Structure formats: C-alpha cells, structure tokens
Amino acid sequence: MSAALKTAGGTGPRHFLELMDLEPAALRRMLELGRQAKRGELQGQPLAGKTVALIFELPSTRTRVSFEVGIRQLGGTPLVLTAKEIQLNRGESIKDTARVLSRYVDAIMLRTADVAQIRELAEYATIPVINGLTNISHPCQLMADVMTFEEHRGPIAGQVVAWTGDGNNVAQSFIQAAARFGFTLRLATPPELQPPAELLAWARREGARVELTHDPAEAVRGARAVVTDCWISMSDEKTAAAQNRHNMLMPYQLNAALMKHAAPDAIVMHCLPAHRGEEITDEVMDGPQSVVFDEAENRLHAQKGILLWAFGAG
C-alpha cells in the first residue's frame, strides 16, 4: 500500500453508514485492511495530511478513543467535537454543517441518537461520512465483532450466532451483518422488544438466515457465539419505563446456566459498556469463553480498516 491514499472517486465519497449499503466484498476488504494494520503490515503513514472530524452528540469511551488513536497511528489528525462545541447545538442545519466541514476536513465520523442526522450529513457532505452509532445501528461495532469471531473461531460464514436481550441498535446491525457475512443469527427478545419487521423482511430478501424466538435457551442452543448488550440505552436510562424493561429482560440475562446450551467452544461477546449483574454476569464476562476485551481492542483495528477504505484503499 502506498503511503498516500487518494479519496475514492467516480461515484462520490465512500460513506460507511450501514452494512446493508455495502457489498460483502467491500466489507471484507475493510476487515483485511484492519487485520493488516493490526499485524503492523501497513507502510508509511497512509492518512498523512488527512484530518478527520469526530463529532459526538452522545458520550463515548470506545468509539472516541479507538477512532482518535487509530487516526493518529495512521498518520492523520483527529479533530474531536461535541455537539455543545459547534453550531448544531444552536440550530445550524446539518446540511450547512456538512457543506462547511467538507471545506475544512477530509472525513467526518458522527455519533448521534438520530439516524436522520447522519443520513442528511452524508447527503450533503462531499467527503466520507462514517456512522459511529445511531439509534438504529452500530456498524463499526459489527466489523469489530466479525473480526473478533474470526480470530478465535475461523470464518464466520455458516456459523450460528445467538443474541439474547433487547432488539436494539446493535442487534439490528447484527441482522445486517448476517446478510452480508453469511452466518445464521438467532435472536431471543421479549415480544415487545423485537427488531423492526421491515429490517427482518429486508434480511430475508437478501437470503439471510435470521431466526426469532422468545426463548433464550432455544436461541443459544449449539451457537458458536453468544452476544448481548445493555438493556437500557443512553437516551432511556432515566425514563419511567426503565424498571419495567429490566423486569422484562431478566429472563434473557447471559449467565452460566444459559451458556450451557451453547456449543462447548462458544465465545461470549458484549460491545460494552456492561452493566454487570444485569444483562451479563461477572462469571460469564470474566470467564474463559469471554472475548469481550479482544472485541473492544478490535474496534481500533476494524475502524482503521474502515478509514483506509473510505480514503480509497482497495
């Protein structure tokens, strides 16, 4: 790989918004670039001279640190901004923000509660836009999850991955990933917290093997990976419905009894932050099957692959 990458041309900027927007070959290329970065095989500083704006409307540990460190390690300059620091907080439109930032920086990562924000940003930006999390998806996390599974258990295609808990944004990205990476996904959620029917319909049209159940033991049976996430999203933590949600989701806790139904060599994943004793027990999270912290590390490497692809590699 050359030390200087050119911005992808021909059909406009290379956005990374949803896994469903991209072909499997492009996603595979990002993972390979991430693996090369992790192995120290990249030559020079591929992002030298590039500035990436990192905009956070929501708090972040892993997304902020992994993107900021990754950009610096690739030779680029991260510019971290919170919503309170820019004019979006005072009513400037996303459209105008996109047009202005496109004149100053070379790419934008946005972490927002509102998917409409990132879609409008990508519509008007003339530079790559990367989805750092929205209320309906977390595609960077899924790239790290696929990388982590394949490091520990080989190709994910044809394997069974089980999800237990809320049908939230990470679960919805897992549905997209099942279609793009060819694994079977079994989702165990309460009836009230199932993923959107239109997303499930899309996945099935794409040939994905996505199975829904309300029985976590059924979902986990024989799975090579078992995944969960926190039960209450950041925007819902203080709502009156939060306690009811805990009661609803307690039967879906990822604990040692549930893991007995999985394949003997199954791995455990959680995107973090974890609420120990709620969606996952200490015994499982700190146990021998957990790859949670490998998964967290791989956010750094997978996102390097995404950045390199966005700037034209491959």
Catalytic residue list contains 253: no
Catalytic residue list contains 15: no
Q: How many CB atoms lie within 10 A of CB 158?
A: 11
Catalytic residue list contains 21: no
15, 180, 229, 253: which one is catalytic? 229
Integer CA distances (angstroms), 239 to 60, 69, 194, 270, in order: 20, 34, 20, 24
14, 35, 140, 141: which one is catalytic? 141
C-alpha 106/C-alpha 90 separation (Å) is 24
C-alpha 162/C-alpha 164 separation (Å) is 7
Catalytic residue list contains 270: no
Catalytic residue list contains 230: no
Catalytic residue list contains 299: yes
Q: How many CB atoms lie within 10 A of CB 56?
A: 21
DSSP string covering 171-210, please?
HHHHHHHHHHH--EEEEE--GGGPPPHHHHHHHHHTT-EE
C-alpha 144/C-alpha 110 separation (Å) is 18
35, 64, 111, 180: which one is catalytic? 111
176, 299, 301, 303: which one is catalytic? 299
Q: Which residues are catalytic?
A: 111, 138, 141, 229, 271, 299
